[in-house]
Amino acid sequence: MQDFLTAALYKFVELPDFAELRAPLLACCEAQEVKGTLLLAAEGINGTIAGTPGGIAAVLAFLRADPRLATLEHKEAHAARMPFYRMKVRLKREIVTLGVPDVHPALMAGQYVKPADWNQLLDEPGVVLVDTRNDYEVGIGTFKGAINPATHSFSELPDWVDKEMAEGGKLAATNGKKPRVAMFCTGGIRCEKSTAFLRARGFDEVYHLEGGILKYLETVPQAKSYWQGECFVFDERVSVGHGLNMGDYTLCRSCRDPLSPDDRTSPLYELGVSCAHCHGNTTEQQKQGYRERQRQVELAGAHHRAHIGLRQPGSA
């Protein structure tokens, strides 16, 4: 059986000519039979691709041949089947949408904190710990003592920050001094941009977890960990725990919410069709359509074929 390699990557870097990079990058990926999605913007590159180990290595070498991307890092995972069905290189205003102009993570992100030093930072008095992920992600796991902004998209975070900077808020200044803030996210990209945003708002001491939650779970022993629960990931694993072992969550194929083992005991849960979160939001006609889709998925699985219509977690 062929082994496929998935590479998740991002880098904030000034790319004023990003539009001109699209065609040669797409051609390289297609020549190597690599599939997935890459986003290009003036602020950098972000995305996930999959292919043979040789194909992925060739695409990464192509990217790193650009001196601005020479230090591009990536995270790898192996898969028994190709997780994507086409290759897309998209031009965007931002590689992760915050919606605030003049925030430049390549120039003004907060201080990186390595996973081995993260617990020590959190133990220091007066540090405000903020989870920059969306509410459904926070709901299945987060760091002990972290604040959940309860956002439904990353672009809602600036409004939350501005509200919490007001008197009595979690980010309010004391005696004219803004608090020290530590921020984290799944892989590092959102907290890099959010710390840059806080610095633009006048915060001097802002920190973010280098490599994100995934690097922390990979490198910090569970016995010493401050992490509680599991971490949502945007692939077919759905969630991971310490050591990046696959977690207990699955995905509702109707509403895309992560489902715990308890969620799947609900009488409103039907595999591929509905869960307790969305059962009342879809019509019987829609449910019949989902049942037919699930039937096709199971039929394809029985014949060891990929089902093209099955959206990936986190896909548009």
Tokens of 103: 């925030």
The residue type at 181? V
The residue type at 55? G
**CB 198, CB 207: distance < 8 Å:** no
The residue type at 46? N
Phi, psi for 307 (deg, rounded to 5): -100, 110
First vs last C-alpha separation in the chain: 29
Give the dihedral sign, CA 89/58/186/171: negative
Can you give the length of the chain in residues? 316
Farthest-apart Cα atoms in the chain, separation: 67
Catalytic residues: 185
Phi, psi for 195 (deg, rounded to 5): -70, -35
The residue type at 173? A
C-alpha distances in Å from residue 270, one per residue of 145, 172, 251: 35, 45, 12
Q: Which runs of E-coded beta strand occur in 97-249?
A: 111-113, 127-131, 141-143, 180-184, 206-209, 227-229, 231-232, 239-240
- State the pairing for strand pair 87-91/44-51: unpaired
**CB 18, CB 10: distance < 8 Å:** no
The residue type at 116? A
Sequence-distant (6+) residues with CB within 8 A of 297 are: 272, 307, 310
Tokens of 63: 């990217």
